Amino acid sequence: MPPSAGEPFGARLRRAMDQRGPLCVGIDPHPELLAAWQLPDSAEGLARFADTVVAALADRVAVLKPQSAFFERHGSAGVAVLERAVADARSAGALVLLDVKRGDIGSTVAAYAGAYFGEGAPLRCDAITLTPYLGYESLRPALDRARADGAGAFVLARTSNPEGAATQTARTEAGVPLAQTVLNDLARENAGAEPWGSFGAVVGATAPESSLELTINGPLLAPGLGAQGATADDLPRVFGPALRQVLPSASRSVLRRGPGVDGLRAAAEWEAAELARVLA
């Protein structure tokens, strides 16, 4: 299993992206995908789906990103599948970013963090997604727990869904877009880290070109490739000087090529080649 203490997540991620290419692939067992793979919409179907994705990709992509909701909807049996998928993916060499989008305050955030970070955590992973809209500092218990475990987090800033724009582009009394305040907080979190910090931002690849300052000395998770309409060619326009920080994420565009291992690998290789053309 990759180390979760000692070497910081930011350093491990940068190395994985350099060695395997900058691609994150989701493990998103939508009911529609389960049906397309001729799998039952059950914990058994989830297990076969997740096992196949892990077997196909965990030894070759930098990051796998399970979407927790699609496992949680099956209750404790689904969460048990997720626990095994996270552990198996890490054992095979992938970094695991668990997409949970947690956000709360005080002891509740600390309790969430205890599920994902630290020796004995049932869903111990390399990073999680967090939502900062109860205030960035409300995330402090999770950020501190991640740092102590050599793990990381990606905080929502300017997301790929159109509904997010009204909140994320709203301006503070000082005239600063709310998304920029999140990015500024992350830049402070990562200050002085080498080769970069462990706390990234989520900035959708479908976001329009903007004046946001994205150089946070940390990674930028860029969902939206494929099914949501973005392509590799959109990345330079959206990210500009921060392009080397980008970790693009593709889910359905890869997963719909299943259920065969060869199809999944071919789809991931095609995405990686497209990204290399733009990000090299």
Q: Is 154 in a helix, a strand, or coil?
A: strand
Q: Which of 15, 60, 84, 101 is catalytic?
A: 101
Q: How distant, in Å, are the alpha carbons of 136, 168, 176, 220, 261 from that of 163?
A: 20, 9, 20, 20, 35
pLDDT tens, position by position, 248-266: 999 999 999 999 999 999 9
Judge contact between 179 and 214, C-beta under 8 A: no
Q: How distant, in Å, are the alpha carbons of 94, 222, 263, 267 from that of 257?
A: 20, 21, 5, 7
Q: What is the pTM of this model?
A: 0.95
Helix residue spans in the chain (DSSP H): 9-20, 31-36, 43-57, 68-72, 75-91, 106-116, 140-148, 165-168, 178-189, 235-239, 252-255, 261-279
- Go through the domains of the chain in sequence order and give each one's CATH number: 9-279 (3.20.20.70)
What does the pLDDT read at residue 145? 97
Angle 140-148/106-116 helices, nearest 10 degrees?
A: 30
10 Å CB burial of residue 231 (0-12, 13-18, 19+) is middle
Q: Would you say residue 227 has pLDDT above 70?
A: no
Rounded Cα gap, residues 37 and 26, in angstroms = 16
pLDDT tens, position by position, 21-53: 999 999 999 999 999 999 999 999 999 999 999
Specify whether 65 is catalytic. no
pLDDT tens, position by position, 137-178: 999 999 999 999 999 999 999 988 888 888 998 999 999 999
What does the pLDDT read at residue 229? 75
Fill in the amino acid letter for 222. Answer: A
Judge contact between 248 and 24, C-beta under 8 A: yes
